[in-house]
Amino acid sequence: MGVLERVSEPRDLRGLSTAELDSLAAEIRDLIVRTVSRTSGHLGPNLGVVELTLAVHRVFDSPRDPIVFDTGHQSYVHKLLTGRVERFGTIRSKDGLSGYPSQAESQHDWVENSHASTSLSYADGMAKAFAVRGEKERTAVAIIGDGALTGGMAWEALNNIAGGPQNGPDGRPLVMVVNDNGRSYSPTVGGLAQHLSGLRTDPRYEQALDLVKRTLNRTPLVGHVTYEALHGLKKGLKDLLAPQGMFEDLGLKYIGPIDGHDRDAVENALMQAKRFGGPVIVHCVTQKGHGYDVAVRDEVDHMHSPSAFDPLTGEPIGDPTRTLTHAFSDALLDAGRRRRDVVAVTAAMLCPTGMEPFAKAFPERCFDVGIAEQHAATSAAGMAMMGLHPVVAIYATFLNRAFDQVLMDCALHKTGVTFVLDRAGVTGTDGASHNGMWDMSILQVVPGLRLAAPRDADQLAELFAEALDVSDAPTVVRFPGKEPADVGIDALERLGTADVLARAQTPDVLLVAVGGLAGAGVDAARRIQAQGVGVTVVDPRWVKPIDKALIELAGEHRLVVTAEDGCRVGGVGSVLAQELRDHNVDVPVHNFGIPARFLDHGKRAGILDELGLTGQGLAREISGLVAALESDSSLASSETV
């Protein structure tokens, strides 16, 4: 029987010997590699936190002491230590375990939002609540990566925490574990990263680690006094170490750097921090992918989130497909060659957004700002003001962070910034917070902004080039990046800015199929036309503003149906309905899209099927609407938004 089988909750860890804990760490790594090689998911980040997570669960008493994982992609080890070994093989699949912490799964999971840099704020709030409620024995614990620490929210939290009571009667116990592996996907960038790296790469670091570790092991745990002793020791180490006073200068207690794979050392440091009774940073140095050579050697991203692979070699399984991300990558490189004013901005996602070829060709024109979508947007506005055309490529869901910056800093100032939103629409396996389903709704209210949704690689290249020609307003190009680049649908004609993909013999239904749903729209039309109903299918290409030609075309049909891979509330369909009313075009409109709810994780295709956003699903709905139109005249005045 393995050790892992004997652990069903964190308290089971406490009675284990050192040898058993070592075996446990090896078993956990083995299970994670074997499982993720099949399911896909976050590999490198989890392999890097095995010892750290064991130490956290041995020192703190979860769930009484809440443990908040920043971003949450590194919580697999935590799942295995909190009673989820048997279901681990189902991770990221429909009805299986989530790839992030999940309140529905366990009382040990508090925060399930996968948007980065929030953990310090959550933990700060929890610590404040414990103080107000007089629950003095509870400690809030945040585990935050060096990448997540580059995000603005983390800095806002640090500032607030540093200004609050430290220890003593008013102290708010809060332990902030910095999991510093030097990487986001790529190496983490910025002044803070350089500061942390100064500690890690100093040749005297090993010496210092030894000294800190020996001293911690010798020191009895007597709370504040011990902390001060340790603190004094660290001050004494200043000659040995690179300057590390940044957190201290802010007024925050700091312990580190600790070797994050030395479980004893991490436990000791955490105990010191816990006993302090106020906010303390514990800086642990880890290696992304630790214990699995293939991941450690992977220089691109230490197998951050691979798709299925051969566990022996790390080689991906299945043929590589050319995706829309590749198409954007080529289009950006091409734009860079044609125009010297084109610059690229990434928020710590150079490779997954396809910017790497541009960065290699034009390093001086590519800027990684860290996990800082807000800063990316406003800094891009500044560049545009001074004559450049920035391209900010981020995942659609992360644009939510920068809404105010797009609205006020880019649009109000009429700056020519192009936002490229990858992973738009249903992303699926990464769960509720990763779906790119909000952009087409929230951006509708931004004056002057133009929004394009290409259906394939050719359209992506065309629309991206058109977007780059707009210099007096922000533009957005959004697409489901992991989908195949070519869907094999040619336009019959261009109508205004829209493409007509199918023409009805009799103008019964106008089906407006947005971007990623163009294929489903054409498929639906084929199915319905077989029943003798005429369907015109249009891909609007530019979904904001809506072209006048589309409004006229709508007036020629008996029924308008819209389909979009975005939230149907406030989305393209609902705006089209509003425009039709404004132009006195009296035709019933039905909108299909993603409902305004958080979607459970599962495969994209399965979720689209459940939502009825497939050729078959749309055909079924439209047939029903046509039948009702024929038998129910009241339909003429109805509208579903």
Ligand X SMILES: CC(=O)[C@@H](O)[C@H](O)COP(=O)(O)O
Ligand Y SMILES: Cc1ncc(C[n+]2csc(CCOP(=O)(O)OP(=O)(O)O)c2C)c(N)n1
Active site residues: 288, 373, 401
Angle between helices 50-59 and 263-276 (to 10 degrees): 40
The C-alpha atoms of residue 314 and residue 37 are separated, in whole angstroms, by 8
Which strands, in side-by-side order, build the sheet including 389-395? 366-368, 342-346, 389-395, 418-422, 475-478, 450-452, 542-544
Applying CB under 6 A, does 75 fall inside the site for ligand X? no
- In this complex, which beta carbon is closest to ligand X, that of residue 234 or of residue 423? 423
Select from ligand X, Mg ion, ligand Y, none the partner in contact with residue 450, using the beta carbon and a kind-dependent cut-off of 5 to 8 Å: none
Q: Taking the complex as a whole, how short is the minimal distance between the CB of residue 316 and ligand X, in angstroms?
A: 13
- In this complex, which beta carbon is closest to Mg ion, that of residue 145 or of residue 151? 145
Whether 116 has a binding-site annotation, put simply, is yes
Q: In which element (H, E) is residue 421 found?
A: strand 418-422
Q: In which element (H, E) is residue 21 found?
A: helix 18-39
Q: Which of 150, 151, 130 is nearest to 139 (CA)?
A: 130
Residue with tokens 């299970």: 31
Q: Which of residues 334-373 bind ligand X (CB under 6 A)?
A: 352
The C-alpha atoms of residue 286 and residue 44 are separated, in whole angstroms, by 11
Select from ligand Y, ligand X, Mg ion, none the partner in contact with residue 348, using the beta carbon and a kind-dependent cut-off of 5 to 8 Å: ligand Y
The C-alpha atoms of residue 335 and residue 358 are separated, in whole angstroms, by 9
The C-alpha atoms of residue 263 and residue 49 are separated, in whole angstroms, by 10
The C-alpha atoms of residue 296 and residue 591 are separated, in whole angstroms, by 48
Q: Taking the complex as a whole, how short is the minimal distance between the CB of residue 506 and ligand X, in angstroms?
A: 43
Interface region with ligand Y, contact rule CB under 6 A, candidates 13-21, 114-122, 131-139, 250-258: 114-122
* φ, ψ at 270 (rounded to 5°): -65, -35
Whether 530 has a binding-site annotation, put simply, is no
Q: Which of 576, 578, 613, 575 is nearest to 594 (CA)?
A: 613
Whether 20 has a binding-site annotation, put simply, is no
- For 77, the token pair is 């080890």
Q: Taking the complex as a whole, how short is the minimal distance between the CB of residue 391 and ligand X, in angstroms?
A: 19
Binding marks (x or -) toward ligand Y, 74..103, rule CB under 6 A?
A: x-----------------------------
Q: Taking the complex as a whole, how short is the minimal distance between the CB of residue 476 and ligand Y, in angstroms?
A: 17
Q: In which element (H, E) is residue 189 found?
A: none
Applying CB under 6 A, does 45 fall inside the site for ligand Y? yes
The contact set with Mg ion (CB under 5 A) reads 145-147, 181, 183
Taking CA atoms, 545 is separated from 361, 390, 438, 540, 549, in Å, by 34, 21, 17, 10, 12
Applying CB under 6 A, does 305 fall inside the site for ligand X? yes
Select from Mg ion, ligand X, ligand Y, none the partner in contact with residue 347, using the beta carbon and a kind-dependent cut-off of 5 to 8 Å: ligand Y
* φ, ψ at 432 (rounded to 5°): -50, -50
Applying CB under 6 A, does 298 fall inside the site for ligand Y? no
- In this complex, which beta carbon is closest to ligand Y, that of residue 121 or of residue 179? 179
CB within 8 A of 121, min separation 6: which ones? Answer: 153, 156, 157
| Cβ–Cβ under 8 Å, residues 144 and 119 | yes
Whether 73 has a binding-site annotation, put simply, is yes
- For 330, the token pair is 């080529």
For ligand X, the binding residue among 58, 73, 544, 558 (CB under 6 A) is 73
- In this complex, which beta carbon is closest to ligand X, that of residue 73 or of residue 108? 73
Select from Mg ion, ligand X, ligand Y, none the partner in contact with residue 352, using the beta carbon and a kind-dependent cut-off of 5 to 8 Å: ligand X
Whether 292 has a binding-site annotation, put simply, is yes
Longest dimension (CA), the chain: 87
| Cβ–Cβ under 8 Å, residues 38 and 111 | no
Beta bridge partner(s), residue 511? 537, 561
Whether 109 has a binding-site annotation, put simply, is no
Q: Taking the complex as a whole, how short is the minimal distance between the CB of residue 427 and ligand X, in angstroms?
A: 6
Select from ligand X, ligand Y, Mg ion, none the partner in contact with residue 268, using the beta carbon and a kind-dependent cut-off of 5 to 8 Å: none
Q: Taking the complex as a whole, how short is the minimal distance between the CB of residue 201 and ligand Y, in angstroms?
A: 17
Q: Taking the complex as a whole, how short is the minimal distance between the CB of residue 423 and ligand X, in angstroms?
A: 5
- In this complex, which beta carbon is closest to ligand Y, that of residue 271 or of residue 402? 402
- For 265, the token pair is 């050392």
Strand, helix or coil for residue 280: strand
- In this complex, which beta carbon is closest to Mg ion, that of residue 299 or of residue 319? 299
Select from ligand Y, Mg ion, ligand X, none the partner in contact with residue 256, using the beta carbon and a kind-dependent cut-off of 5 to 8 Å: none
Q: What is the CA radius of gyration of the chain?
A: 27
Q: Which of residues 269-288 bind ligand Y (CB under 6 A)?
A: 288
The C-alpha atoms of residue 462 and residue 3 are separated, in whole angstroms, by 57
- For 238, the token pair is 């200043």
Whether 57 has a binding-site annotation, put simply, is no
Q: Taking the complex as a whole, how short is the minimal distance between the CB of residue 355 and ligand Y, in angstroms?
A: 13
Whether 491 has a binding-site annotation, put simply, is no
Q: Which of 265, 187, 261, 213 is nearest to 28 (CA)?
A: 261
- In this complex, which beta carbon is closest to ligand X, that of residue 75 or of residue 444? 75
**Residue number, nearest CB to ligand X:** 73
Binding marks (x or -) toward ligand X, 26..65, rule CB under 6 A?
A: ----------------------------------------
The C-alpha atoms of residue 60 and residue 65 are separated, in whole angstroms, by 6
The C-alpha atoms of residue 204 and residue 217 are separated, in whole angstroms, by 20
Whether 147 has a binding-site annotation, put simply, is yes
Whether 146 has a binding-site annotation, put simply, is yes
Q: Which of residues 178-207 bind ligand Y (CB under 6 A)?
A: 179, 181, 183-185, 188
Applying CB under 6 A, does 115 fall inside the site for ligand Y? yes
For ligand Y, the binding residue among 78, 79, 401, 590 (CB under 6 A) is 401
Taking CA atoms, 240 is separated from 243, 255, 382, in Å, by 9, 15, 41
Binding marks (x or -) toward ligand Y, 347..376, rule CB under 6 A?
A: xxx---------------------x-x---
Residues annotated in the binding site for thiamine diphosphate, as ranges?
73, 114-116, 147-148, 181, 292, 373
Q: Using CB under 6 A, list all residues that contact ligand X.
A: 71, 73, 114, 304-305, 352, 423, 430
Interacting residues with ligand Y (CB under 6 A):
45, 71, 73-74, 114-116, 145-148, 179, 181, 183-185, 188, 288, 347-349, 371, 373, 398, 401
Binding residues: 73, 114-116, 146-148, 181, 292, 373
Residues in binding site for Mg(2+): 146, 181
